[in-house]
Amino acid sequence: MLVYAQSSGSQSTNSGSWTPIPGLAVTIPRGAGLKALLILNVPNPYASGNNYPGGNFGLQVNGATLAPVATFTYNEPVPNSTGRIPTTLTAVVPLNQSEDLSVVAVWSGVRGSTVHIDTPATLTGILG
């Protein structure tokens, strides 16, 4: 079984704490299997700021943030150009046989920077 969500439009955040990425949430139904491979693919993010800007990406399951995270930063304090930094995060989670699981992709800025997405990003769950 596969669950899937895709974002649309331009989005950004300058939050220093985890914030849901609009459009990237899925529900895994109870009894769907033993484990899920979760894949968050953000193909073209970039960040702006003046202190080595960057972005963090994570996953929350039923409100709890998973330990694996993905982060990108630039090598210059104020980059001349905000190049794209493709970012993918994967995690395996055990499935609950007695309740649905809510999976939400989250993001935050690094050191006060603003993270931008202007192409579709995806959240995929492969259940088994």
Closest CA to 82 of 120, 115, 56, 122: 115
Per-residue pLDDT of the chain (128 residues; tens, 9 = 90+): 899 999 999 999 999 999 999 999 999 998 888 999 999 999 999 999 999 999 999 999 999 999 999 999 999 999 988 899 999 999 999 998 889 999 999 999 999 999 999 999 999 999 98
Closest CA to 73 of 31, 105, 115: 115
Closest CA to 37 of 28, 46, 45: 28
Domains contained in the chain, CATH given: 2-127 (2.60.120.760)
Report how far residue 71's alpha carbon sits from residue 56's, in angstroms, rounded to the nearest whole number: 4
Q: How does DSSP classify residue 98? A: S
pTM for the predicted model, two decimal places:
0.95
List, in sequence order, the alpha helices (H) in 34-100: none
Report how far residue 78's alpha carbon sits from residue 81's, in angstroms, rounded to the nearest whole number: 9
